[in-house]
Chain A
Amino acid sequence: MASKSNIARFIIILLALGFLYLPIATLIVYSFNESKMVTIWTGFSFKWYVALFNNSQIIHAVGISLLVAFLTACASVVIGTLAAFVLVRVRKFKGESAFVLFMTAPMILPEVITGLALLLLFVTLGDFIPLFSDRGVFAIWIAHVTFCSAYTTVVVRSRFRELDISIEEAAMDLGAGPIKVFFAIILPAIMPAEVAAFLLSFTMSMDDLVITSFIAGPDSTTLPMVVFSSVRRGLSPEINALATIIVLIVSIFTFFAWLSMVRKQKRMAADAAKAKKATKLEEQGTLYNHQ
């Protein structure tokens, strides 16, 4: 029985990973293909990588995307932390459920709706504040922060909930002000979540196509927009090379994420074992005392 379900499990996981990685593997293999025909193998070559780095349109778009992603990640971590703090530490307040709905909705709404909504807002605001009607990096940044902070809130909130409030109260009793408490106690404790939230909003901002297409004006084309328009025109081997580089970077980060997850679980297991041992000793001690 047990071995039967082991085999089933193995086959399911193998099939699923095959499905998930077949397209990625194909892209990587063909990125080294010499032929311009994307799917006919003629020989090993780095020429598409050279072509990629000489493509000024792509390089320019990478620059804009990196800038927007960095600014977005910084701002959405700050807003997400504030929102998480509010949701966990502040007692029920008026309009709390509306607040929760605002924070969850951007994550699941179809992107065409969010994109259209933000564009129309910027056009309306542009009458009063010209910065919005430029539809440049600033407008894209605002749009990205709006949907990314929904995600950072979720990530930081789940870490916030594990914190022990009595440590903060102790610090307050000893005379630390709220700002000191935040930087000396809360921030170090939620740091892993802040890093995760930063990386997450960075990737999402880098990757967003639909919302950005609505917002961006002709001078601020981001990387996904360039990729999309070149893919729409037909297959292009340079995109294979670009994909391979993206996969390489993401897998390095995934590896570290996996490493920190394993470490955390080990630490938790070790703590649990220690606690168990301590209770056992205590019990023995009580028994001894009773005798």
Chain B
Amino acid sequence: MSMGFSANMSFIRRAFRKSKPKVISVSTHQNTWRDYALILVPYLWMILFFLLPFLIIFKISLSVTQIAIPPYSPIVTFEEGAMQIILHLENYTNIFTDPEGTYWRSYLKSIEVAFFSTFFCLIIGYPLAWALATSKPAIRNVVFMLIIMPSWTSFVVRIYAWMTIMKKDGLINDLLIHFGIIDSPITMLQTDFAVYVGIVYCYLPYMVLPLFSALMKVDYSLIEAAYDLGCKPVKTFFTTLVPQTKSGIVAGSMLVFIPALGEYVIPELLGGKGSILIGRVLWQEFFNNRDWPLASAVAITMLLILTIPIIWFYKIERKEQEGAYGK
């Protein structure tokens, strides 16, 4: 993981800026050949190293594994002067008709884990973002930095820290036994519980930052008005705060849900045999079974599942940008 954090750098800047920035006038500027030359560098880089790879994944997902270097069958072959194109669909049919159901079960399990992790991040992150947004600026700055700082330290090391805390003779069990709350240690490591703790711990900042930026822009007099008119706190929350922070809720949820769906390291280190998430399946097919075509088909299917959340996130982001900058 380790990603996502600075996806929010723009959220942060937007949040800390009280007034709207000057809208830069570009009307006098005509695109010249020089501008197009500038566009070309990042554009080509991204096409070469980002779009092209996906086409290659798709291509390889339509071949079958064979013992060779590289370990997959060619799609186009020439035999006796005839060009043959062989597209294998076995990998995809395997995913859905595998008798043990390993693949579709792990997709469902991943969606379940990603969904509940997002939900837990939201219910923990919302109060935190609120507390941050309504604090005094001096306190806000310090707490803000303290919330981001862990995500700058090593990701694997943070997961490792939870292993020391949650294992049988770890900190939590030791404390609980010491104070006589339990008699024998609870098994926490290698359960779904540990996976949830790990995901919430690592992804919480990505939920908090967009929420925080949305909550900074809220008109709090509306809440007072609702109270004055006798509205109950719960109703006030859902009728004033939630609609005003909708973009932050969606952006934060997508920033957690999308990467969590394919998470590999956390279920591998903290989860048990039951936490077979799709990221782990892909990893095993690729590294242990060396079945590159099947791993590619798993990746393409995962991408298809993620299309809707990605487009949703992208739309919200664009709207936010246009709203804030008027481009």
Which A residues lie at the B interface, using CB under 8 A? 5, 8-9, 12-13, 16-17, 19-24, 26-27, 30, 37-40, 79, 82-83, 85-86, 88-91, 93, 95, 99-113, 116-118, 120-121, 123-124, 142-143, 145-147, 149, 151, 153-155, 157-158, 161-165, 169, 178, 196, 200, 203-204, 206-210, 214, 224, 227-228, 231-232, 235, 239, 242-243, 246-247, 250-251, 253-254, 257-258, 261-262, 265
Contacts and interface: CB of A to CB of B under 8 A. Distances in A.
A124 B201 CA distance: 38
B264 interface: yes
What is the predominant secondary structure among interface residues of chain B facing chain A? helix
Nearest to A226: B156
Given A116-B282, A120-B60, 5 more contacts: A117-B50, A120-B56, A149-B45, A151-B3, A235-B160
A239 B154 CA distance: 11
Contacts of A149: 42, 45
A154 B145 contact: no
A107 to B, nearest CB: 5
Contacts of B313: 108
Assign chain B's interface to a size class.
Answer: 35 or more
A89 B26 contact: yes
B42 A112 contact: no
B153 A247 contact: yes
A258 B141 contact: yes
Contacts of B306: 109-110
Interface stretch (B76-84, B92-100, B168-176, B236-244): B168-176
Nearest to A142: B49
7 contacts: A23-B164, A105-B50, A151-B3, A178-B34, A208-B2, A224-B155, A231-B269
B301 to A, nearest CB: 11
A145 B254 CA distance: 24
A26 B167 CA distance: 13
A204 B9 contact: no
B222 interface: no
Which one of B31, B157, B313 has the highest number of Cβ atoms from chain A below 10 Å of its Cβ? B157
B162 A23 contact: yes
Contacts of A90: 29, 31, 35, 38-39
Nearest to A248: B153
Contacts, number: 293
Contacts of B57: 116-117, 120
Given A12-B131, A104-B314, A231 B10 contact: no
B230 interface: no
A210 B160 CA distance: 16
B39 to A, nearest CB: 5
A86 B39 contact: yes
A93 B263 contact: no
Contact of B317 (A17, A39, A104): A104
A58 to B, nearest CB: 13
Nearest to B198: A23
B288 interface: no
Contacts of B250: none
Contact of B165 (A23, A93, A117): A23
B137 A112 contact: no
Contacts of A117: 50, 53-54, 56-57, 299
B89 interface: no
B164 A38 contact: yes
B274 interface: no
Given A9-B131, A39-B170, A239 B46 contact: no
Interface in B7-50: 7, 9-10, 13-14, 16, 21-22, 24-26, 28-31, 34-36, 38-39, 41-43, 45-47, 49-50
A108 B310 contact: yes
B302 A154 contact: no
Contacts of A26: 161, 164-165, 171
A12 B127 contact: yes
Contacts of A143: 49
B47 A112 contact: no
A24 B254 CA distance: 27
